[in-house]
Amino acid sequence: MQREKTNYVIQSVAHALDVLEQFYGELDELGVTELSKRLKLHKNNVFRLLATLESRGYIEQNRATENYRLGIRCLQLGQTYVSQMGLLRQARPILEDVSQRSRENTYVAVMRRSAVVPLDVVESNLPVRIISNVGEALPLHCTAMGKVYLAYESEEGLRHILGNSLEKFTEQTIVDVGSLGDHLRGVAERGFAVDSGEYLVDVRSVAAPIRDYTRNVVGALAVSGPAYRLPAERIDKEIVPLVVKAGKDLSIRLGFHE
């Protein structure tokens, strides 16, 4: 009988990764005392973990404050990951074309765990535009990119991913699981999803699925912009056809055939 992989976890390595993950988000520097509290580890253990990570370039110390921050090695690994993603290499020229045509931010995103994560963006050239959120874990149930993924999940898969309750972000957020299921069936039938202020009040987005040679959804392509520039009429007549075609073109590049 095959043993669970959790049986092979090395505790010290797990603690080192826990340290790195504390720097995710807005906090750019942390001290030993704060890390000790967060991780519920003795200060000596935290210091040894930091020293090890620092010796390999994953952590560096600000000599002025004596606090720690992520090191250059983290950036190098992240860039390697991005460069190895065939999806991104194929997506970039399409994103640039869609952004030029729509004059709005254009994204490619993937699902990671129970969130959708934008991996690349081509920003609008207009002075007022949405702040790019590349690398940020976004909710699935109220973003166009997330709904594109959920639309092709089974009912069992949806229950596993979403659980029994949905967080409400705006008055437009669908928080009833049954209602969301009905909505997602429409997304699957139409082949695209729309976020009409469901995550951020003044933001509208349209997304289409990206498939590869396996016919599975491997990403989402989306256009996002301020609500006043994306009224329903423009979304229906201009943005939806543009996004759907771009999603199909990118899917073909990845080996998908109808």
Q: Where are the domains of the chain?
A: 5-76, 85-253
CATH class of 5-76: mainly alpha
pLDDT band at 83 (very low <50, low <70, confident <90, very high): low
CATH 3.30.450.40 fits 85-253, yes or no: yes
Q: What is the pLDDT of residues 238-258, one digit of tens each?
A: 999 999 999 999 999 888 887
Q: Which three-class secondary structure state does DSSP give residue 18? A: helix
The answer to whether the beta carbons of residues 213 and 222 sit under 8 Å apart is no
5-76 with 85-253: one CATH topology?
Answer: no
C-alpha distances in Å from residue 167, one per residue of 47, 88, 194 = 37, 30, 18
Of how many residues is the chain composed? 258
Query: Which amino acid would we find at residue 177?
Result: V
Of the two residues 135 and 191, the one the predictor is more confident about is 191
C-alpha 124/C-alpha 104 separation (Å) is 4
What pLDDT score does 3 carry? 57
Directed axis angle between helix 155-162 and helix 177-190, to 10°? 120
pTM for this entry? 0.70
